[in-house]
Amino acid sequence: MVSRYEELYAAAITGKMDRRQVLKRAFALGLTIPAISALLAACEDDDSDDSEAAAEPDSDDSSDDAEEMVEEDDNEDEEGEDDLDDPDEVESDLDVEQADAFLEDDGWEYEGDDRIEGPYDGESDTLNGAGATFPAVLYSRWFHEYEQVTGVRVNYQSIGSGGGIASISDGTVDFGATDGPMNDEQLENASGGNIFHIPVAMGAVVPTYNIPDLDIAEPLRFTAETLAGIYLGEITEWNDPALVEDNPQLEDIDQSILVVHRSDGSGTTFIWVDYLAAVSEEWAENVGVGTSVNWPTGIGGNGNEGVAGEVVQNTYSIGYVELIYALQNDLGVGEVRNQAGNFILPSTSSVTAAAAAFADSIDPQLRDRIVNAPGEDSFPISGFTWLLAYENMDDEEKGIALTRMLWWCVTDAQRWNSGLGYARVPEEIVDLAKELIQDIKVDGEPIFPGE
């Protein structure tokens, strides 16, 4: 699939296919919405032929060589109450609209005067990175753009946060990427000394549930107590008084709750349990925080799609997934009450708000987690995804290239975030991140060429 994606991406970039063709093919391949968004963004900006009937012939062979994926797709669609049988037919127009709506940019542009523009003498022309899968779509978009801007080629392998940490620790890559901050033990074990965490995007983890009796337009409201209770196995029925208090519609749902969690170690789990631990002493003491924990109850699904699949298949279940995954799959998402007492529906802006609320108190190393954020509009189950770089590097060319790239990531690059379903890092945090970047040294001297 990756190679097909890359092919398609190439076709989109070079203008061999127009938006519509790319869309059709992408849906036939069963690509995720972020991937499709990236593809569309890569298309040349000729929106003019958007509405025209585009050339048909492509659709045939595309559905052909993607048969397996389509099948998989169909199944998911069934559960998604979407009744998509043939991706080529009328419904594909719907998908176009969906995708377009999703793509709608908020028009944000970086306005500082410290932008990275053009190549720089003496910088290395390649950088290698590896790590988190969650932001991989964003990164591939970024690094493609970055090569256009500076000519520096950035290779990124999405091997998982653990792999990213391991790779930077033993120095096999120039930078790592992770969804969960490195712990003290990991930092001690890094071969090249101190590692900086540069937050470059944000995500949220949202509760998703499947109660067929309920209207999906009226999301359930969860509190710290109810979520912790459910995941501790203490709240076992949907009509538990604690739940009914905020959700009168649950009164008649006399069903036991099937709890779904991730079976694989993941940054998503980390943020979720980090939140539960922040709000529940019992959770903090008995279960704790990690990329995988000893779950008191429930069944495990592999990946966001595994959890979503279990939730969709099993009525009266609850699970948690990445915000963008919930958005793109139209999952029923619950509101969560934040510290200020407001029930917040997760969105990229409510996530950014959460981080902004921490700006004053955050540790300047930016390793802090931001769950249970204060602030009226903060969605409380949010987290950064970081790029990892050594404080002290020994290769000057790499040092220049890396610091410039990091700088670009926290500034100009942020404009792609919300279009792809990731929240932007708030300006207050970006300022702190810039300080860290300026602190990266080669031979004891700061290497970033800006001011």
Partner 1 sequence: MQQSAPVRGSSRIRLDVDAAGRGDRIFEGATKAGAIAILALLAIIILLLLFESRNIFGHQGIGQFLFTTTWDPVFREFGVFAFIYGTVISSVIGLLLATPVAVGAAIYIVEYAPRWLRSPVSFTVELLAAIPSIIYGLWAVFILGPVMRFHIEPFLQTWFGPIPIVGNLFEGTPIGRDILTAGVILAIMILPTIMAISREVIMQVPDTQRDGMHALGATKWEMIQGAVIPYARAGIAGAAILGLARALGETMAVTMVIGNASTSITGSLFEPGYTMASAIANQFREADSQVYLSAIIAIALVLLVIAMIVNILARILIYSLVGKQSNSSRIG
Report, in Å, the least distance between residue 128 CB and partner 1.
19
Residues 21-60 that bind partner 1 (CB under 8 A): none
Report, in Å, the least distance between residue 263 CB and partner 1.
3
Map residues 288-307 to x or -, x wherever contact with partner 1 holds by CB under 8 A.
xxxxxxxxxxxxxxx---x-
- Segment lying near partner 1 (by CB under 8 A), choices 17-25, 121-129, 287-295, 396-404: 287-295
Q: Which of 14, 126, 189, 361 binds partner 1 (CB under 8 A)?
A: 189
Report, in Å, the least distance between residue 168 CB and partner 1.
13
Map residues 192-231 to x or -, x wherever contact with partner 1 holds by CB under 8 A.
----------------------------------------
Instruction: Check binding of 191 to partner 1 (CB under 8 A).
Output: no
| Type of residue numbered 122 | G
- Segment lying near partner 1 (by CB under 8 A), choices 67-75, 83-91, 361-369, 439-447: 67-75
Number of residues that make up the chain: 451
The label of the residue with tokens 């769950």 reads 371
289-312 per-residue burial string, b: 16 or more CB within 10 A, e: under 16: bebebebeebebbebbbbbbbbbb
Q: Which is nearer to partner 1, 266 or 348 (by Cβ)?
A: 266
Q: Which is nearer to partner 1, 26 or 159 (by Cβ)?
A: 159
**Total binding residues toward partner 1, as defined by CB under 8 A:** 42
Q: Which is nearer to partner 1, 208 or 378 (by Cβ)?
A: 208
- Segment lying near partner 1 (by CB under 8 A), choices 13-21, 222-230, 262-270, 352-360: 262-270
Q: Which of 30, 34, 309, 319 binds partner 1 (CB under 8 A)?
A: 309
- Segment lying near partner 1 (by CB under 8 A), choices 20-28, 110-118, 259-267, 393-401: 259-267
Beta bridge partners of 206: 321
Q: Which of 266, 280, 352, 414 binds partner 1 (CB under 8 A)?
A: 266
Report, in Å, the least distance between residue 52 CB and partner 1.
37
Residue (of 55, 64, 70) closest to 16 by Cα position: 55
CA pair distance 252, 392, nearest whole angstrom: 61
- Segment lying near partner 1 (by CB under 8 A), choices 21-29, 256-264, 330-338, 398-406: 256-264
Q: Which of 264, 282, 368, 439 binds partner 1 (CB under 8 A)?
A: 264
Report, in Å, the least distance between residue 72 CB and partner 1.
6
SS3 readout for the chain: CHHHHHHHHHHHHHCCCCHHHHHHHHHHHCCCHHHHHHHHHHCCCCHHHHCCCCCCCHHHHHHHHCHHHHHHHHHHHHHCCCCCCCCCCCHHHHHHHHHHHHHCCCCCCCCCCCCCCCCCCCCCCEEEEEECCCCHHHHHHHHHHHHHHHCCEEEEEECCHHHHHHHHHCCCCCEEEECCCCCHHHHHHCCCCCEEEEEEEEEEEEEEEECCCCCCCCCCEECHHHHHHHHHCCCCECCCHHHHHHCHHHCCCCCECEEEEECCCCHHHHHHHHHHHHHCHHHHHHCCCCCCCCCCCCEEECHHHHHHHHHHHCCCEEEEEEHHHHHHCCCCECEEECCCCCEECCCHHHHHHHHHHHCCCCCCCCCCCCCCCCCCCCCCCEEEEEEEEECEECCHHHHHHHHHHHHHHHCHHHHHCHHHCCECCCHHHHHHHHHHHHCCEECCEECCCCC
Map residues 68-107 to x or -, x wherever contact with partner 1 holds by CB under 8 A.
x---x--x--------------------------------
| Type of residue numbered 162 | G
Map residues 144-183 to x or -, x wherever contact with partner 1 holds by CB under 8 A.
---------------xxxxx-x--------------x--x
Q: Which of 256, 361, 364, 446 binds partner 1 (CB under 8 A)?
A: 256
Q: Which is nearer to partner 1, 135 or 399 (by Cβ)?
A: 135
Q: Which is nearer to partner 1, 139 or 408 (by Cβ)?
A: 139
Report, in Å, the least distance between residue 134 CB and partner 1.
12
Residues that bind partner 1 (CB under 8 A): 68, 72, 75, 159-163, 165, 180, 183, 185-186, 189, 256, 258, 263-267, 287-302, 306, 309-310, 313-314
